Structure 1
Amino acid sequence: MDTGLQDKVVVVTGATANIGRATALAFAAEGARVVPVGRDEEAGARVADLARERGAADVFWRRADVTVAAEVTALVDAVVARFGQIDVLVNNVGGNAVVAPFVSTTPEQWRADLDVNLTSTLLCTHAVLPHMLAAEAGRIVNIGSMSALIGDPFMAVYSAAKGAVHAFTRVLALEVGRSGVTVNAIAPYGTVPEDFAAETSAGSRFRPGTGLFTDAEASRAEERAVFRRNTALARQVARPAEIGAAAVYLASEQAAFVTGHVLQVDGGVALT
């Protein structure tokens, strides 16, 4: 299948670990010009090298904190200066400030969850969208979550923030569709790295020994078990590459008539 992504300029935020890493590599395999974005220089260099190995037409690693407006502006300016365009934006950055009952959380933790999951998406989209509208073409793919659709106990603000990402996706699709830009989202469930040591970055929630989820798994396993659900399949978790493949589809020419959609990659967990 010819995805039409050869030489397209693809910006992937949070590209140093897990879903973002796999997504950047999936676009690389399509011959795109890939811009992996993250905060961990060492992990970013590894992803950039792998993207070249996978067949990327070009790789432009950029360090940026996409919750900070000035850094997002600098990022987009640098990409446009180098390539003259941005064809695809994958808003992948996400995470959790805390895994705990809502009643015991703080406003500072709420703001952190909202910033990394929602504000980052708004900032990056706002900075990239004028270039897509001027070109009358573009693909925006937002990484949401099944948490937004079914809710995860102890992750109330995260679930709410991802719900806002889904709503933003639908509304923006209505606003920009006639300008040649499609806007879609992916709602993954239970996506974990296949190799935790190799596929995580310094700030990853799955980082062995320091990540929020790996720490919770080790120290609060009974609490964590409350929001585990069964899929309809034998396998209970998604692989990062499966989310990357979904992003490639939504950015491809084959998905030109798909917009405002939230694609569930959940193993049928919503059915159980």
Structure 2
Amino acid sequence: METGLNGRTVLITGGSANIGRGIALAFAAEGSNVVVVGRDEAQGRRVCDAVLERGAGQVLWWAAAVTDRAQVGAMVAATHERFGALDVLVNNAGGNAEFAEFVNSDPTVWEKDISLNIASTLNCTHAALPGMIERGCGRVINIGSTSAILGDPLMAVYSAMKGAVHAFTRVLAREVGKQGITVNAIAPYATMPLDYEQEVNSGSRWHPDGIVARLAATRSTEELRLMSRRTVLDRQFAFPAEIGAAAVYLASDGAAFVTGQVLAVDGGTQLA
């Protein structure tokens, strides 16, 4: 399929690991210019090398905390200065800071989930939209979660914030559709890195010191079983490349009439 993405500029937050890396590589294969945003400099540089090897036109690494509006503004300005325009924004940065029943959760930790998942999406979109509106075209792709659709035990605040991402997607699609901009979301389920050395950065939940390892060490087998969902397929995890393929589709010319949607890449967990 001809996607029309060759030469277009794509910015991916949380682009140095797992889902973000998979999305970056998917756009690189289409010949896009790719802006990889993250905080792990060493891993970010490795991803940039892989992006160029995969076929990207150009690549830019930008270190930024997307919860900080000033850093986000500098990030978008640098993208415009380097490439002239920002065609596709992928709001991928996100994650959860703890696993806990809500009644036992730490209110100071809620703020981390709120900032990382919804405030980051608002910051980046607010900075990117004026340029898209001025040009009369653009794509915004938000990474939500099946947690927002079904709810995940021990992840109440994260699930709620991803629900906010889905709601924001629908509202924004209504507001900017007449300006030639589509806004969609992807809701992955349990996306597992294939190559931990290449795909995991220092802040990833999949890092050996990350939150998933802490969960496995502190929760019983029964508690872990209750948290999991079953797909209707043989495989119980998504791969980063599959989320990347979904993002490429939503950014492509073929999806020009698709907006305000939440595309679940979940192996049918809502059916199981």
TM-score (norm 1): 0.98
How many Å separate the matches in 1 of 2:217 and 2:105? 21
1:107 to partner: Cα distance: 1.6
1:219 to partner: Cα distance: 3.4
| Partner of residue 74, structure 1 | 74
SS at match of 2:184: strand
- 8 Å contact 1:197–1:207 — kept in the other structure? no
| Partner of residue 216, structure 2 | 217
1:87 matches 2:69: no
Amino acid at match of 2:155: M
How many Å separate the matches in 1 of 2:156 and 2:271? 21
| Partner of residue 231, structure 1 | 231
1:195 to partner: Cα distance: 1.6
1:196 to partner: Cα distance: 2.0
Segments of 4+ moved more than 6 angstroms: none
1:225 to partner: Cα distance: 2.2
Q: 1:122-271 alignment to 2 at 5 Å?
A: 122-208=122-208, 210-222=209-221, 223-271=223-271
1:59 matches 2:59: yes
Please tell me the root mean square deviation across aligned C-alpha atoms, in Å. 0.8
How many Å separate the matches in 1 of 2:219 and 2:107? 23
1:198 to partner: Cα distance: 2.1
How many Å separate the matches in 2 of 1:271 and 1:131? 40
1:192 to partner: Cα distance: 1.2
How many Å separate the matches in 2 of 1:8 and 1:153? 40
SS at match of 2:23: helix
Q: Is there any run of 5+ residues in structure 2 with no aligned partner, and where? A: none
1:221 to partner: Cα distance: 4.5
How many Å separate the matches in 1 of 2:193 and 2:39? 18
| Partner of residue 32, structure 2 | 32
State the number of aligned residues: 271
State which drifts further: 226-235 or 145-154. Answer: 226-235
- 8 Å contact 1:184–1:260 — kept in the other structure? yes
Amino acid at match of 2:50: L
How many Å separate the matches in 1 of 2:198 and 2:8? 27
How many Å separate the matches in 1 of 2:217 and 2:21? 25
How many Å separate the matches in 1 of 2:123 and 2:60? 20
Amino acid at match of 1:263: L
1:23 matches 2:23: yes
Amino acid at match of 1:255: A
Alpha-carbon displacement from aligned partner over 1:109-130 (angstroms, at most 9, x marks no partner): 1110010010000000000000
Alpha-carbon displacement from aligned partner over 1:175-214 (angstroms, at most 9, x marks no partner): 0001000000000011111122321100001012x01012
TM-score (norm 2): 0.98
SS at match of 2:197: coil
Q: Is there any run of 5+ residues in structure 1 with no aligned partner, and where? A: none
Aligned residues: percent identity? Answer: 59
How many Å separate the matches in 2 of 1:214 and 1:2? 41
| Partner of residue 10, structure 2 | 10
State which drifts further: 219-228 or 97-106. Answer: 219-228
How many Å separate the matches in 2 of 1:47 and 1:214? 24
SS at match of 1:145: coil
| Structure 1 residues 249 and 221, CA gap change in structure 2 (3 angstroms) | farther
How many Å separate the matches in 2 of 1:226 and 1:111? 26
How many Å separate the matches in 1 of 2:241 and 2:144? 16
How many Å separate the matches in 2 of 1:217 and 1:199? 20
1:217 to partner: Cα distance: 1.9
How many Å separate the matches in 1 of 2:178 and 2:259? 11
